[in-house]
Structure 1
Amino acid sequence: MSDADKLARRSSIGGSDARIIMSGDQFAVEDIWMEKRGESIELDFSEVVLIQLGNITEEFNADVFEHETGLWVTDMQQKVRHPDWEHAHATLDGKVRNCPDCPEKGIFEAKFMLPFNWSLEDAVKKYYGQLQHNMWVTGLETAYLSVLTGGGMWKMAEVKSDFFYQVAMEEAEREFWEAVQSGTLPNFPKAADTPIVVERTKIVDMKGNNEWSVLAGTLTETVEATKKHDSAKRKIKKLFPEDAMIAHGYGVKMKRGKDGRALYEITPAVPMDIAA
């Protein structure tokens, strides 16, 4: 890992960090808290056999996935930041497409696991936080977990975006990052009780629930406005001059973050002075 990559890793939360934050392992959470603050001894993973096997077999794993599914894996090792929070990133094993130039279907996650007492369900549980984080960062709705084992077996699980889990995860990550910046030791496992793998079979009619009625009405009424908002946000960022630090006008202020990304905020309208 280059010095630039190490610095980038310390400056934001990645998928493997999210897995630990959501795991409920207080000691592991404190370890990455110290790492983000630059207070821990840098670990050398070059001799950790399982990690190296995962790295070495990653491209082969993608080849097997493509052969077995008929899908394509592209954009391997692409680094992505969350569009609205600079302290969340994902280093993707790849993106999954129907063809090399087709739209993205989801993210690709390659893992190598030992065959002893192994199950695909356990693999999904173990990496659920990482998968949900990477889907949240990229905005993609599906993760393809592709697992090779030391027993010569390949298995794949298709995991869908979990809105409620991601809400709890974002809250936990933001609280963790506040602890990093303030130097306060994080107190977890707050989010560890979030359900991971649940068989959901019930169909529930929410008629009669007043709060559901109000929120459902708001959601349906603001769909088009939300689409317009998101479209305007993407387009106005493209208008931000490359050599500008701050741009403002008509109630919108845009500034450039430390990583060079354009960040915007809605500012209150200021009444114009009218000469008497």
Structure 2
Amino acid sequence: MEAVSTLEMDRIEWLQLRKSGIGGSDASAILGFNRYKSAFQLYIEKTSELVEESDSEAAYWGNVLEDVVAKEFAKRTGKKIRKINRMLRHPNHYFMTANLDRDVVGEKAFLECKTASEYLKDSWNGEDVPAAYLCQLQHYLAVTGYEKAYIAVLIGGNKFVWKEVARDDEFIELMIQHEKSFWENHVLANVPPAIDGSSSASELLAKMYPQDDGSAIMLDEQSNTLIEAIESIKTEEKQLEMQRKEYENQLKMMLGESAEGHSDRFKVTYKTITSSRLDSKRLKEEQPAIYEKYIKESLSRRLSIKEAN
């Protein structure tokens, strides 16, 4: 394996280096198992000149607690681990890179350290490992040629779990095909993959095109197909919404004045809730100076469709 030392690199240099290939955390986006990032967003990250650091609390505490998780794994398993201050590259597929959290001494294995919210604890039950992390582990196994991986996670700050994951050559072969296609047919060719409906894609488009420039363009025939599909889905959504409300009203009739209802499979609540909200219209009319002082404007773009005249 080719290896680049990251020991003397600052965070920005390391992030820039990551743009030169596909890392373990990128694999799930390419394979469609990442609910936070789409292949389209990953393409933008790899081809953009900008280097952005994640400002999420989860990413921050994941970095802070990495040493804690690693030490606890060593304590519970008796295994000796060591930090790897290098970025590794696959010997045959140069675009595949790996930044291992720890190497396991005496074994052809590595350790990946994670932290997780209490709300995600069910995804770690039994032998389960979230799909996105399985992609990451198999990607690293492909790059290193190792036989197995260990993953350790601190859940909710008070529950520690570790698991062993065996190398899956069949999955790795399929993953390499998809990663190779993404790198060569999109990143190197400078051709974005198809945009999808993920929230990450929507957020990215809002960031890329925050304001209109007032111009008008002619759309091609493909736009008519898209618009017809959108309108068809809107009609279906309205019908489903009406049906849902009908079923809910039937359930409310059954509950009557009761706060709860129980069946052999479900618990239903229909409780009185008191809510308070600001009457902004009245405030604007009666106290315009206060309204203007505290009003906060935000920019967004609204997509609307209507028949051409």
Contact in 1 for aligned 2:34/2:132 (Cα 8 Å): no
Residue 184 of structure 1 aligns with which residue?
A: 191
Scaled by the length of structure 1, the TM-score of the pair is 0.61
Matched residues, percent identical? 31
Q: Which amino acid aligns with 1:30?
A: F
Q: Distance in 1 between matches of 2:23 and 2:120?
A: 28
Residue 171 of structure 1 aligns with which residue?
A: 177
Aligned length: 182
Contact in 2 for aligned 1:107/1:143 (Cα 8 Å): yes
Residue 290 of structure 2 aligns with which residue?
A: none
Q: Which amino acid aligns with 2:121?
A: W
Q: Does 1:13 align with 2:22?
A: yes
Residue 44 of structure 1 aligns with which residue?
A: 53
Q: Structure 1, residues 151-206: CA drift from partner, whole Å, max 9, x if none?
A: 411001100111111011000000000111111222599xxxxxxxxxxxxxxxxx
Q: Does 1:30 align with 2:40?
A: yes
Residue 62 of structure 2 aligns with which residue?
A: 54
Name structure 2 gaps, 5 residues minimum: 1-9, 197-309
Scaled by the length of structure 2, the TM-score of the pair is 0.55
Q: Distance in 2 between matches of 1:112 and 1:24?
A: 18
Per the alignment, do residues 82 and 6 of structure 1 end up closer, same or farther by CA in structure 2, a change over 3 Å counting? same
Q: Distance in 2 between matches of 1:72 and 1:104?
A: 10
Residue 84 of structure 1 aligns with which residue?
A: 92
RMSD of Structure 2 on Structure 1 (CA): 2.2
Q: Which amino acid aligns with 1:22?
A: L
Shift of 1:54: 0.8
Quick check: which has more Rg, 1 or 2? Answer: 2
- Whichever structure has more helix as a proportion of its residues is 2
Name structure 1 gaps, 5 residues minimum: 98-102, 190-276
Q: Structure 1, residues 92-143: CA drift from partner, whole Å, max 9, x if none?
A: 001112xxxxx33301000000112413155442301000000100000111
Q: Distance in 2 between matches of 1:17 and 1:85?
A: 15
Secondary structure in structure 1 of the residue aligned to 2:52: coil
Residue 235 of structure 1 aligns with which residue?
A: none
Contact in 2 for aligned 1:78/1:94 (Cα 8 Å): no
Q: Distance in 2 between matches of 1:15 and 1:124?
A: 14
Q: Distance in 2 between matches of 1:38 and 1:117?
A: 32
Deviates more, 1:8-17 or 1:114-123: 114-123
Shift of 1:5: 1.9
Contact in 1 for aligned 2:116/2:153 (Cα 8 Å): yes
Q: Which amino acid aligns with 2:19?
A: R
Shift of 1:24: 4.9
Q: Distance in 1 between matches of 2:58 and 2:53?
A: 13
Q: Distance in 1 between matches of 2:131 and 2:15?
A: 27
Q: Does 1:107 align with 2:110?
A: yes
Secondary structure in structure 1 of the residue aligned to 2:108: strand
Contact in 2 for aligned 1:105/1:142 (Cα 8 Å): yes
Q: Distance in 2 between matches of 1:96 and 1:174?
A: 28
Q: Distance in 1 between matches of 2:169 and 2:64?
A: 33
Contact in 1 for aligned 2:28/2:34 (Cα 8 Å): no
Q: Distance in 1 between matches of 2:30 and 2:195?
A: 8
Q: Which amino acid aligns with 1:5?
A: W
Q: Distance in 1 between matches of 2:92 and 2:68?
A: 34
